[in-house]
Structures are given as C-alpha cells and as structure tokens.
Chains A and B, each alone.
Chain A
Amino acid sequence: MLKYAAKRILMMIPTLLGVAILIFILVRVVPGDIVEIKYGSATGSLVPQDIMDAERARLGLDKPYALQLVDWLWGVVRLDLGTSLWTEKPVIHEIASRMPITLETAVLSTLMAILVAVPLGTLAAVYNGTVIDQVVRVLTIGGIAIPSFWLGLLILMTLLAVFHWAPPLAFVPFHKDPVQNLSLLFWPAVSVGYRLASLIARMIRSSLLEVMNEDYIRTARAKGVREALVVRRHALRNALLPAITVIGIEFALLIGGLVVTEQVFNLNGVGRLFIDAVQRSDFMMIQGLVMVTAVFFMLINLIVDLLYAALDPRIELE
C-alpha cells in the first residue's frame, strides 16, 4: 500500500507540471493585464506609457515569458507561489488566510450530506418501489436539479422575511466562537449540501439494491438474522464503498464549487479570492489558486483510492 501511494504521488508530479504550464499559458493569453486595470486605462483614463511600463517592470511583467515560466515553475517546486500582483503579499499567505472558511464549509456540508443521505438512501432501497422510495426519488432528483446559488438565495430570503434574521457578517474561527461560526457557515453548507446529499443517497440506494441480491445476503437471511441486522451489517457495509468514491470526488470538487455559493452568502473564502483574481487579471493569484486546488483534488482522489482498498480487501492496488 505504501509503495502504491508513493507511486501515485510520483505520478502526480508530471500532471502538476502540466497544470502549472497550462495555467501559466492560459492567463497570459488574456488580453489586458493588471497594470491596465490598476490605472483604469480600460475606462479611458490617460496614464503616461512610461509610468505603466515602470509599473510592469516593478511587478516583473516585462521579463520574457520563458523567464517568467522558469521563475514560476522553480517557485512551485520550492512551494513558493510568488506574490499577488494586486495586494503584493505572498500568494500562499493570501490563500491560507481564506482557506479555513472554504474548507470548513466544504467539510460541514459533506458531513451533513452524509448524515442525511445514508439513512435516506437506505430507506429508499429497503422500501424499494413504495411511497418512501418515490419521496426520496423526488427529493434527490430535486437536489440535483436545483442550482445551489438559487437555493442559497431562497434560504437567505426566507431567513430575512420569515425570521427577520440575517447571518452574521464576520467570520470567526470555530474554536473561538462556535455559535457565530456555525450561524455564518451553516446555511451555505446546507445550500451546497443538498446536492451532495442527493448524489450520495442515489448512489447508496442503487448500490444497496445491487448488494441485496448477493448470495451472502440470502445466506444471512436463511440463517435467521433479523432483517435490520442484514441491512446494517451485511448489506450497507458493502454498499457504502461506492458511495465513498462519490463523497471523495464531490468533496474535492467543492473547493472549486463553492465559488458561486460564497458569492451568494458574501463569504470571504477561496472562491471569492478566485473571482477577484480573475477580474483583476492577477496572474500570480490565479496560477497559485489553480495549483492549490489541483493538488488538493489529486490528494483527495488518492486518499479515496487508498481508503477504498483499505475497506475492501477484495481490491488490490497495482
């Protein structure tokens, strides 16, 4: 297993190199750069060319692309993502300061989704074809169809109109003030968690239905095990495995997927940082964010695969 993990981590290096080069090229194809945006030349203000050139030189944007690329790649190797062209602080610090809010929302929504989805999916499979199954089906199809940002808007609307309450404006870490922390992040987590819960519940329902036809389930029933135990101990354990993949991949995608929800709830997370960076053509920030999300995505994928193998001895990692 260790050998497999090491091999996978080694395999990540060329992929990450590809990501680093691709994003470097992509952001530089964008017409207009941060200097023009800073001095508002797009809106028609006339700043002398030499001032703009001096600013470009100061930010290192006048260097040849090949040199910039080498700088960038060498930085990535040393875990130095450069400095933001806008705030002129280290990119890695900017991302790290925004990460807790995004990460916590992602974890919170995933946890809530699992807590809701596992029982729902199980019920739907056990009572396959009954009213319960139909209700779960409608709920979960709804969860996949409803855009999370619209759900977020509806939640905010209801909170304000019915309860005359709005989430607090400032983020405080959980360990400092759990109540304020949760009252800020709970609703964003619900609005993205609904979709996640629907995906997981559907996965559990279908894999549970598949497992329930296996021989060992019939054996368990034949030897007189109570149905509840058959479902819990024999079936669900096996049915949870495919769900782990879905949970892992969706969790990894959430870091990027929270972009829209953060906008709705006015959260100052990584997603907001990303949108700001795109609008300001802050190359270094965009590059850094893409690298961080890519590493995160790959690591989660690796963890999922390892977990999968650890839980299911039938799977052999090659």
Chain B
Amino acid sequence: MSNVSASLSAPPLYKRILHAASQFVREQPFGTVGALVILTIGFAGIFAEWVAPYDPLEINYMSTFAPPSLEHWMGTDDFGRDILSRLIYGARTAMIISLSASLIGCSIGGIVGMSSAYFGGRVDFIIQRLMDVLLSFPIIVLALVVVAVLGRNPVFGVDMNLVLAISIPMIPKVSRVIRSASLQIAVMPYVDAARALGFNHRRIILRHMAPNLVAPFLILLTAYIAQAILLEAALSFLGLGVTEPTPAWGLMLSGNASQFFLTAPWVIIFPGLAISLSVFAFNLYGDAMRDWLDPKFKF
C-alpha cells in the first residue's frame, strides 16, 4: 500500500479506515461511484422488508403483466407479483450468494496457493496438477456438476451447495494467482525467521504470509463477486440455481418469462438491468481497488 506514514503512535483503527476511505474517494472517482451503487444495492437487500413496496411472493391474478405505473414502478409478472419488490429481495439473494461464494472460493484458493508456494517441491507439484484438473473443467460445467452432485441444502433460505458450486471453480484460478504472489513472500527473511523460531506451518502460513497477501486477496475477492453474480444468474436461469419462490434475478428471466416478452418486455428488461448494474458496479469498484492497492497486479 502507498503512503504508509510512520508516526510514533498509530492512530486508532477507525481513523485509519476513515483516512483510507477518504483517500480512495479522492483518487478513484469511478471506483467511488461503483462503491456507492454497491452500497445502495446492499442497503436495499438488507432492509428489503422496509424498502420493498410489496410482498415479493404475493400473487395477484387480478393484475398480471401490469405495465410499469405509479403503483408498480417496474410492472408485474405473470403471477401479478411486483417486479421492483422481487428485484429488491433478489438483491439480498444475489449479495448473500455472491459474497459468500467469493469469500469461500478466494479463501480456499488463497490457502491452497500459499501452501503450494510455502511447501514447494513435490507438494507444490501435486497441488498444481490437481488445480490443472479442476481448471480443465469449464466453469459452468463444473458448477452444474457440483449442483447436481450435492443437491440442495438450504441454510437460512440460501442454498449452501449452490454457493459451493459457484466457489469451487474459483479455487484453481485464485490459487494460481496467490501462489505466484506468495512465491516472493515465502523466501522473505521474516518467513525464514519464523521457521527458525520453530513455529508450525499453519502459523507461518496464516500469521506471517497471509497478512502480506491482503492486497491481492481483496482485489481477487471483488473481482470474483462480480463473476459469482453472473454465474448465479446463469445457473438460476437454467433452473439449476436458486429455486422458486425465492426471488432471484436470474430466475426471474428463466422459464416462461421469455414467452411473454412481446407483451410484457418489462418482465425481461428490469431483472437483466439489475444483474448488469451490480456486476458493472463491482467491476468499477474492483478495477479501482486494483489501481489503488497494486496497479501492477495482474490476474
């Protein structure tokens, strides 16, 4: 990170975070816009009960396919459900799934990559060949197989196996990037010192190497959240992801939604816009994070 100021007593954590945030806002206007959009979507998702004008599951056969109006800003779908409300609750689904999938995928990938670099030699070789195997499965194919294998396992209304299916394809890619970043760190004197002190491997990897890989980790994490949103939408669209009646953006586009698009284009247009806007925001924010933390970092 740039601008590490050496002061005698470090300011408290909240002050440092505030300082970093204000610096980010000044230096990265695009990233700030992205962050604001993400915060808005996240806020809407968290407080969906208060933000959404209608119950997203409430079926009303009296007003199916109502066009956008003051009453229903984005119209209603084939069951007469309010699309805006479904989008707002869908934001919650998308955020929970993509955040946890990215966190799981990047953490496992990170640990695998760090271990691979730290142990080197035969361990490194075997891990890398295993990653080769995972890498040669196309992402969506891997996710499809995982979904089919694990079935459904809802935890608090979110299908944890879907989360796993989205995070597993990330592991080989993240581990590659983190491995190459860790290779430089594994030979640092402080890692040698930790070894000399007789710390165990786990402690060296997690306490000595990991803190120095926070920047690439954060960059990858944001980038993969965007990918996870797209993958979740694609799986739900195929009918293999989130299932009815849970409101999810990809699911809103699937099934017979495409048969009505001539009479009710809003059924198709708004969920797609929601997906695109959130992925767009995460990409803007992610790009800015990379420029800000480590402009030379490539993945």
Q: Which of B263-293 contact A (CB under 8 A)?
A: 265, 268-269, 271-272, 275-277, 279-280, 283-284
Residues of B within 8 A of A278 (CB): 144-145, 148, 240
B297 within 8 A of A: no
B120 within 8 A of A: no
B10 within 8 A of A: no
Q: Which of A133-152 contact B (CB under 8 A)?
A: 141-142, 144-147, 149-150
Partner among A145, A253, A263 whose Cβ is within 8 Å of the Cβ of B238: A263
B145 to chain A, nearest CB (A): 5
Measured CB to CB, the nearest residue on chain B to A271 is B140
A140 to chain B, nearest CB (A): 10
Q: How long is the Cα–Cα vector from A182 to B237 in the complex, in angstroms?
A: 26
Q: Which of B116-146 contact A (CB under 8 A)?
A: 129-130, 132-133, 136-141, 144-146
A178 within 8 A of B: no
B149 within 8 A of A: yes
B interface SS class: helix
Residues of B within 8 A of A259 (CB): 140-141, 144, 238
Do A147 and B145 touch (CB < 8 A)? no
Do B144 and A274 touch (CB < 8 A)? yes
Q: How long is the Cα–Cα vector from A15 to B132 in the complex, in angstroms?
A: 7
Do A149 and B141 touch (CB < 8 A)? no
Q: Given contacts A142-B276, A144-B279, A161-B262, is CB(A257)–CB(B140) below 8 Å?
A: yes
Do A157 and B261 touch (CB < 8 A)? yes
A315 within 8 A of B: no
Q: How long is the Cα–Cα vector from A286 to B265 in the complex, in angstroms?
A: 36
Do B133 and A19 touch (CB < 8 A)? yes
Residues of A within 8 A of B144 (CB): 259, 274-275, 278
User: What class of interface size applies to chain A in its complex with B?
Assistant: 35 or more
Measured CB to CB, the nearest residue on chain B to A25 is B149
Q: How long is the Cα–Cα vector from A149 to B268 in the complex, in angstroms?
A: 11
- B129, B132, B146, B283 interface centre (most CB from chain A within 10 Å): B132
A180 within 8 A of B: no
B233 within 8 A of A: yes
A309 to chain B, nearest CB (A): 20
B151 within 8 A of A: yes
Q: How long is the Cα–Cα vector from A146 to B233 in the complex, in angstroms?
A: 11
Residues of B within 8 A of A275 (CB): 144, 238
Q: How long is the Cα–Cα vector from A290 to B280 in the complex, in angstroms?
A: 31
Q: How long is the Cα–Cα vector from A229 to B262 in the complex, in angstroms?
A: 50
A46 within 8 A of B: no
Measured CB to CB, the nearest residue on chain A to B261 is A157
A119 within 8 A of B: no
Measured CB to CB, the nearest residue on chain B to A254 is B138
B192 to chain A, nearest CB (A): 28
Q: Given contacts A294-B136, A298-B136, is CB(A23)–CB(B233) below 8 Å?
A: no
B46 within 8 A of A: no
Do B268 and A253 touch (CB < 8 A)? no
Q: How long is the Cα–Cα vector from A23 to B133 in the complex, in angstroms?
A: 10
Residues of B within 8 A of A157 (CB): 261-262, 265, 268
Do B258 and A156 touch (CB < 8 A)? yes
Q: How long is the Cα–Cα vector from A303 to B237 in the complex, in angstroms?
A: 33
Do B234 and A260 touch (CB < 8 A)? yes
* Binary CB contact string for chain A from 14 to 39 against chain B (1 if under 8 A, 0 otherwise): 11101100110011011100000000
B177 within 8 A of A: no
Q: Which of B201-243 contact A (CB under 8 A)?
A: 226, 230, 233-234, 237-238, 240
B4 to chain A, nearest CB (A): 27
Q: How long is the Cα–Cα vector from A29 to B149 in the complex, in angstroms?
A: 6
Do A144 and B283 touch (CB < 8 A)? yes
Do B283 and A145 touch (CB < 8 A)? yes
Measured CB to CB, the nearest residue on chain A to B230 is A147
Do A297 and B272 touch (CB < 8 A)? no
Do B233 and A142 touch (CB < 8 A)? no
Q: How long is the Cα–Cα vector from A202 to B240 in the complex, in angstroms?
A: 32
A268 within 8 A of B: no
B253 within 8 A of A: yes
Partner among B137, B151, B230 whose Cβ is within 8 Å of the Cβ of A31: B151
Do A149 and B234 touch (CB < 8 A)? yes
Partner among A23, A29, A153 whose Cβ is within 8 Å of the Cβ of B253: A153
Measured CB to CB, the nearest residue on chain A to B275 is A147
Q: Given contacts A260-B140, A263-B238, A297-B136, is CB(A15)–CB(B129) below 8 Å?
A: yes
Do A150 and B141 touch (CB < 8 A)? no
Instruction: Pick 26 A–B contacts, CB within 8 A, sort by A.
Output: A15-B133, A19-B137, A23-B145, A30-B148, A144-B279, A144-B283, A146-B276, A147-B237, A149-B253, A153-B268, A156-B261, A160-B261, A253-B138, A255-B138, A256-B137, A256-B139, A259-B140, A260-B234, A263-B237, A274-B144, A275-B238, A278-B144, A278-B148, A290-B137, A293-B137, A293-B141
Chain A to chain B: the 8 pairs with minimum beta-carbon distance, closest first:
A256-B138, A150-B272, A145-B280, A18-B133, A145-B279, A294-B136, A157-B261, A256-B141
B interface with A by C-beta (< 8 Å): 129-130, 132-133, 136-141, 144-146, 148-149, 151, 226, 230, 233-234, 237-238, 240, 250, 253, 258, 261-262, 265, 268-269, 271-272, 275-277, 279-280, 283-284
Apart from A16-B136, A18-B132, A19-B133: 8 A-B pairs, beta carbons within 8 A: A26-B145, A141-B280, A146-B275, A147-B272, A150-B276, A157-B265, A260-B140, A263-B238
